[in-house]
Chain A
Amino acid sequence: MARGSVLARLPTLPTTVVGSYPVPEWMERLKTEYFRGRMSYPQLLDVHEMAIKAALHDQELAGIDIVSDGELRRDNDIDYFLARIPGIEIRNAAKDFYFDYYEAILSEPLPEPEGTPLRLAEDFAFTAAHTSAPIKFSFTGPFSLAHRVGGNAYPDRRELALAVAWVLNAEARALAERGAELLQIDEPFLAGYPEAVEAAIEAINVVTAGVPVTWALHVCYGNRYARPLWQGHYDFLFPPVLGAKVDQLVLEFARKGYADLPVVQKSGWDRDIGLGVIDVKSSEIETPGLVADRIRHALDLVPASRLIINPDCGLRNLPGAVARAKLAAMAEGAATVRQELPREPDP
């Protein structure tokens, strides 16, 4: 697979984020006000847009090569998407706390995708208008979204995930048309259902079908409430994930250790790896030296040309100052290792 247009423009060992950015307590309060019906949607949008601009600026100041909007518009990793998919019913639209999951019900099969009801391309366009840095745009994948939908509209979860995948495919096409070059599918629930990896990959391939961008797939062990939801090892992904039509696997290593990296390498994965070097479940700030050591360790197994440097997962649950310091340490650690790499011969 090609590395993609974004990575070709960047130095070796480019740094990026997984997606989410810290939500300050005051912003949580405003989001919750909205979900209790005490704040208008235009005001909430304004809050989100101000926060996204600040998050982009933070990432640029920290030296991150590929930035994201911090997923700051989203109340959690699921509802922002499900609540907008026509046919999915949210019976109680109020929330006690913005982060809570809705109860999403699907009584009838999803209608044929029409247009782009999730309006993700508009979200991307806003981000692109406020940064000149390359952008990673992430969204939750069909497998995890399907797991939060109740009802009996489909005979099994595989069918439901495929139906959701077609909705996401339309969104991805629109994102590509608006200029998105690097899209990431997040599957935070996949590690809890290792027996369902094949079905998940089938749905993921529907999402990526015909969308000419660099595709990343992020699989972690969960980050909701800043604690892992699942235990285990990445060997459950293989071999089915080799059939995924994606260019990068973005994985969690810093918290768990790097014992799984040989597993990935020996499995036959010959594409890029997003290497988690920052533990997002700990407020302890890694030193640039520690980050550099982690990258050097990975270089024993994976060539630099196939590594992208990122945190384990989204930064949502960290205090802002801690997240900024972690990103800066990550960028500095990557820069240190980059300088140690042998210079490539001039063409």
Chain B
Amino acid sequence: MLIDFRPHARLRGNNPVDFEASVSPLISALAQDQADLSGVRVVCDWVQYKENFRDIVEVRPILSCPAPAEGHDGRPVPAGAPPYHMEIAVDVRRSGEVALRDLTAARLSQQPAGRIYLEDWGPGGDSCIWDFNALYWSALELWEKASGRSYEQALPGGESDARNRGAARELISELFALWDPLASSGALPEELYVAELGVGNGSQAKVFLDEFRELDRAHGSGYYRRLHYLMCDYSQYVLDLARETVAAHASHVSSVSLDATRPSTSLGFLRGKAFLLYISNVYDNLPTDEVAQLGGQPYYVHTRAYFPPAAAADLAASVSAAPEELPGLTRRLLRLGPSELADAAPGQVSDVDAAVRFWQQAWAALRLEERYVPLTGLDLYPVAPSVSGEVLRPLLESGADIRMHVSNGAVASFVDSLPLLHPFGKLVCHDLFVTGVAGYRTSFRGPGKYDGSVVNWVNWLLLAHVGRRRGFEVQFAPFRHRAGRNIVTMTAQARD
């Protein structure tokens, strides 16, 4: 049996985790069980997100039979000898709140009864949690009205780093330093393109444009006249909001409706022209799978969304439905949105406000079951269009067991963004990044819930590897303009 106590830093300090209390009862329950202990791994996490998708104790099967893969034609799929058959996961932040031994024994002894499943098993990136996430951004106005606060107030710290004036001035100064010699040699294009992917409420764009105009006035180069700022987002509501915010710069700004995972589809005209691609807190909000390497074997992490029995009963009662009707009603909510749901299901939700209440309660109740499925042939796993799972190998085979995000949406977005850059252009991204494999071995990196959206830390190592293979130097540095935060600045520029 392997015990992987990941948040070991929390065993020290002012308020240390009590290892005995948070783990020993679990081991005691395992000892009483009939499970083959040699094939059990116990993983202890500190789940920092108060709103998340996990129970305090979870039992995760580790399957030995790979999922049938395309191209196998019914042939047996070879897989190595499975080192483990079960993982017990415990959240040590909360494990002291429950009778841990009894809870673990209950989890081990029987399949959980009464759970209302919303979907079948599949990779995490395909889960309906991402439909909830998309709904949050497309119906943000309704969510904010119901919760009484803006999405930005829900962020840790209460505001986005995107509106930091020091950071904006630094970026603009770098652009001027790049443009001046190009202008001297007649190599500076007439139109100077800057694009922002994921514009929030437009505050970043406003800060950037305000500062740009002011610095250009002092610089005297007339760059502001040539500046074209593209605000890109898939939410029309967000774009409309942002346009109002930057009304003073309207003649220099265009709004582009865009899927962040495929920016080239809408921005193809920008290929090779963008001097700056700016992306703030978008990647952590894009769908991701997780993969793991356990005992030398690679695995997919498959998930299945469900409502726990008690929460399902409460939720069903709130909409005058039986618990079994919740998956159907939830699917309709995700397909139609709360505004339409009231018309489509008047028997369950009487009006839009009731539909929003159902949405928020469902989101709060939502949990994910997990299991590990063997992953045979990394090349058969598409991380993103044109990116094969082979890119994961250096990370998965970096030593001891590891579980990590694939950041599929971020990789897709990143790879599709790079061709937009001018040869001297730069991609700048502020986000929550895991910048070393140790980060995956010592900390929980999501998924968690930020208000109505999903948050996962982004796999910088993978982005760096993928970028480098495409000829870009990808670097990271702590966000320098605000102390005490986890935000990292990633930059990508052509190399060699």
Contact = CB atoms under 8 A, between A and B. Distances in A.
Are chains A and B native binding partners rather than an unrelated pairing? yes
Interface of A: 25-26, 28-29, 32, 36, 96-97, 99-101, 224-225, 227, 229, 231
A27 to B, nearest CB: 11
Interface of B: 379, 388, 390, 393-394, 419, 423, 465, 468-471, 496
Contacts of A224: 471, 496
B394 A96 contact: yes
A231 B187 CA distance: 11
A229 B419 CA distance: 13
A101 B379 CA distance: 24
Contacts of A100: 468
A29 B392 CA distance: 11
Contacts of B496: 101, 224, 229
A96 B462 CA distance: 12
A99 B419 CA distance: 20
Contacts of B388: 25
B472 to A, nearest CB: 8
B471 A225 contact: yes
Contacts of A229: 496
A96 B465 contact: yes
B469 A225 contact: yes
Contacts of B390: 25, 28-29
Contacts of B394: 32, 36, 96-97
Given A25-B379, A29-B393, A96-B468, 18 more contacts: A25-B388, A26-B379, A28-B390, A29-B390, A32-B394, A36-B394, A96-B465, A97-B468, A97-B469, A99-B469, A100-B468, A101-B496, A224-B471, A224-B496, A225-B470, A225-B471, A227-B419, A229-B496
A337 B496 CA distance: 40
Nearest to A230: B423
A96 B393 CA distance: 11
Nearest to A78: B496
> What DSSP secondary structure best describes chain A's contact surface?
loop
A198 B419 CA distance: 33
Contacts of B465: 96-97
Nearest to A228: B423
A227 B496 CA distance: 12
Contacts of A225: 469-471
A229 B390 CA distance: 26
Contacts of B470: 225
A162 B346 CA distance: 84
A26 B393 CA distance: 12
Contacts of B471: 224-225, 227
10 contacts: A25-B379, A32-B394, A36-B394, A96-B394, A224-B471, A225-B469, A225-B470, A227-B471, A229-B496, A231-B423
Contacts of B468: 96-97, 100
Q: Which 6 A-B pairs have the closest CB atoms?
A: A225-B471, A225-B470, A25-B390, A25-B379, A224-B496, A224-B471
| Residue of A99, A100, A227, A229 with most partner-chain B CB within 10 A | A227
Nearest to A101: B496
A291 to B, nearest CB: 26
Contacts of B419: 227
Contacts of B423: 231
Nearest to B464: A96
A259 B496 CA distance: 28
A105 B263 CA distance: 40
B199 to A, nearest CB: 28
B384 to A, nearest CB: 15
Nearest to A225: B471
A272 B269 CA distance: 38
A26 B419 CA distance: 26
B420 to A, nearest CB: 13
Nearest to B390: A25
A77 B428 CA distance: 30
Contacts of A227: 419, 471
A231 B393 CA distance: 35
A36 to B, nearest CB: 8
B464 to A, nearest CB: 9
Nearest to B494: A229
A96 B423 CA distance: 24
A229 B471 CA distance: 10
Nearest to B388: A25
| Residue of B388, B393, B465, B471 with most partner-chain A CB within 10 A | B471
A229 B465 CA distance: 20
Nearest to A29: B390
